[in-house]
Amino acid sequence: MAAKKKARRKKYGSSVGKTVKRVMEEKKAGTLRSGRSKKKVKGRKQAIAIALSEARASGAKVPSKKTASKKSKKKRKRSKKA
């Protein structure tokens, strides 16, 4: 029997790509600033994170932020006690 392929769904909406592109252009121009401190953004990953958070705030289709697993949280808690 041939295995059926699952239909893949897009993780991100089409408007997210436009937001990321705009933010990356700002970063290259040196005009992208971060949060409250308003310091210049230098890293590519930070620029992408800013773009995704802006897209989330505007209601675009973006996966939720990754959080630590229960196992790692438990491990961290135990190491603080010791």
The predicted-structure confidence for 2-23, as pLDDT tens digits, reads as follows: 677 777 777 899 899 999 999 9
Torsion sign across C-alpha atoms 72, 73, 79, 82: negative
Which residues are bridge partners to 40 per DSSP? 33
Cα gap 56→31, rounded to integer Å: 21
The predicted-structure confidence for 26-53, as pLDDT tens digits, reads as follows: 999 999 999 899 999 999 999 999 999 9
27-54 as b/e: b if 16+ CB within 10 A = beeeebeeeeeeeebeeeeebeebbbeb
Cα gap 42→35, rounded to integer Å: 13
